[in-house]
Structure 1
Amino acid sequence: MTKKILIPTDFSKNAWNAITFATSLFKNQNCVFYLMNSYSINEFDIGDIKASEFGVTSIDKANNLSKQELKKTLETLKSLNPDVKHTFKTISEYGAPIDVMKSTISKKDLELVIMGTKGRNNHSGTFFGSNTVTAMEEIRNCPVLGVPMDVKLGTLNEIVFPTNYEDSYKKRELAQLVQIAIKHESEICVLYVDPQKELSANQKANMEVLSECLEGSKFSFHHLSSTNRSLAVRSFVESRESKLVAMVNRKHGFFEKIFTTPMVKDLGMFDKVPLLVMHNLRN
């Protein structure tokens, strides 16, 4: 079955890195990659060309420049990526990035978004840009994989999946996680962080359901005794040199809260490790 993947780009170095990461992640697998650029004359900025320099045909010029940059990106990508199982298509559309992403996912029935964690206009001191955080929050029918600057795929030895076992999962919620793990023969390390190791009856039941959801992949269960979950996850990931963190966002506003408060200091691993965000499909 052919995978259909959306890769938003603003033509920044981070966006390009996300593209090459995506093609490596699904090497030798039938995929259609949709390279998407959204533009607006208020925020438009490609190279040294500013919206203020445009005349009455601002939108047309912005559209033409967007298409030109997509064409250049596509030509470069095809010259560097000889994978015959990969097909690339481009989308240039006027509008806010999140709106264009949502409409494209719906119209094309896409199953995964892969994007850089920061764009051209984000501050260097932040781990996640505003577009990435918004995508992880608002795109709830499709997982989003955020790829930090300069991170290369390498060997995907293991994927860390933090959980508190308070909620049950469904196979379709974790489908992309399992598929990636099987393809790369990665171990999914289910990580429970809590001062108490003993699980309640409900947590044990949810743990069993999770095991069923992960069937087909290699997985293991781990416990760390700590009251600081974010630091515990970071320590676990760094000590084992894990290559990917996956989690389910069950609460609206969760990522906005984390990535806009001092808590981000505890999550510094995400400037080195990609983050796969899935959603509770019942919300």
Structure 2
Amino acid sequence: MESMQRILFPTDFSENSWNAIAYALHFFKGEKLQFHFLHLGISGMVENDKNLHPQGISVSNLLSKGAFQKLEELKEKIDNLYPHHEHTIHLHFESSLFIEGIRKYVKAHDIDLIIMGTKGASGIKEATLGSHAGAVITRVKCPTLVIPEKAAYQTPASVAFPTDFNILYKDKIIKTLKEFSSYHESSLKILRVVRKGSKLEDDQIKNRDFLSSSLQEVNHSFHWIQSPELEKGLQEFIDSMGVNIIAMVGKNLNFFQRLLFKPTIAKISYHTDIPFLVLHE
């Protein structure tokens, strides 16, 4: 099966960013991939003032020098801590708006997957206010693996795929699920959280059956859990099944936002310690 070859890491050199990089180095151990590290500068300045200050160019040049030095230091850190990795590392600085810069880079370099860190619950909850991870998973149409700050690497034996079967699963979504699961032969647990008395409509049954037939090569199973709250149902499932990663479809906005952008409910911790893979068509 064709694998994900080109991985993009938007980095701000923070601990959260490093945590995502370290996670990826464990996940892709033994692979030979293209790792692209991208730092975007003066994004805040440009976003706050659409008429870029005339001095912006010189500021950009200064930022560029500092950024490349930090990128080189990042590469050195990776090579020192993971001396046996076989990935090809590319370093890039872009003076650009954050989302615009990522979209441009994804297109220019045919990126297969974005990996980035976030500050757990608050980093996602505030996505609509402009957190970088929240902006990327909703506005960049590229599969994205988000690593919360408290997520420690565990071999992903189990991937949960919560869905309500209300969308038709396009080829790219199926392909990404297959490729991602194949790295560690993860079992894919397709989960529907239901309220009491809820039944599948005809279209939902068709979508479920299509998903099942499309995933024949993957170790997958269907599950349902009864809960009045989607988030609580997912948390119960994670706790009982030992889930290591959550996958979800970005297009299904209502479902997606309820899982990730709703303020944290008591006893809901998956925002902070479970990586999640956002799928795009």
Worse-matched range after superposition: 177-186 or 157-166: 177-186
Gaps of 5+ in 1: 45-53, 119-123
Give the Cα–Cα distance (whole angstroms) in 1 for the partners of residues 147 and 258 of structure 2.
Answer: 20
Larger mean CA deviation between 172-181 and 182-191 belongs to: 172-181
**After TM superposition, which residue ranges in structure 1, 4 or more long, deviate above 6 angstroms?**
none
Match of 1:37 in 2: 39
Q: Any conservation in 2 of the 1:159–1:242 contact (CA below 8 Å)?
A: yes
Preserved CA contact (<8 Å) 1:169 1:213? no
Amino acid at match of 1:207: R
Q: Which residue of 2 aligns with 1:126?
A: 122
| Other-structure match for 1:247 | 248
Cα deviation for residue 89 of structure 1 reads: 0.5
Q: Give the structure-1-normalised TM-score.
A: 0.84
- Aligned to 2:8, what secondary structure does the other structure show? strand
- Structure 1 match to 2:83: 82
Which residue number in structure 2 is paired with residue 229 of structure 1? 230
Confirm or deny: 8 A CA contact 2:27 2:155 kept in the other structure. Answer: no
Question: What aligned pairs does 1:97-136 form with structure 2 within 5 A after superposition?
Answer: 97-118=98-119, 126-128=122-124, 130-136=131-137
Name the residue aligned to 2:50: none
Shift of 1:138: 0.4
Decide which moves more: 248-257 or 217-226: 248-257
Structure 2 matches for 1:183-262, cutoff 5 A? 183-195=183-195, 196=197, 198-251=199-252, 261-262=262-263
How far, CA to CA, are the matches of 1:117 and 1:267 in structure 2?
A: 17
Deviates more, 1:255-264 or 1:194-203: 255-264
CA contact (8 A) 2:190 2:221 kept: yes
Q: What's the TM-score, normalizing by structure 2?
A: 0.85
Q: Deviations over 1:226-274 (max 9, x none)?
A: 2311210111112322110000022458766765553566753120000
CA-CA distance at 1:188 after TM superposition: 0.5
Q: Alignment identity in percent?
A: 27
Counterpart AA for 1:104: Y
Structure 2 residue matching 1:164: 3-state secondary structure:
coil
Q: Structure 1 residue 274 and structure 2 residue 275: aligned?
A: yes
- Could you tell me how far apart the structure 2 residues matched to 1:205 and 1:55 are? 54
Partner-residue secondary structure (3-state), 2:278: strand
Q: CA RMSD in A?
A: 2.6
Do the aligned partners of 2:150 and 2:272 also contact (CA within 8 Å) in 1? no
* Closer, same or farther: CA 136–227 of 1 in aligned 2, 3 Å: same
Q: Which amino acid aligns with 1:238?
A: D
2:230 maps to amino acid: R
Aligned to 1:144: 144
Change over 3 Å in CA distance of 1:42–1:222 after alignment to 2? closer
CA distance in 2, matches of 1:127, 1:264: 15
Q: Note the C-alpha offset of 1:83.
A: 3.7
For 1:15, the equivalent position in structure 2 comes to 17
How many residues matched? 265
Query: SS where residue 57 of structure 1 aligns?
Result: helix
State the SS of the aligned residue for 1:10. coil
**In structure 2, C-alpha distance between the alignment counterparts of 1:56 and 1:87, rounded to whole Å:** 31
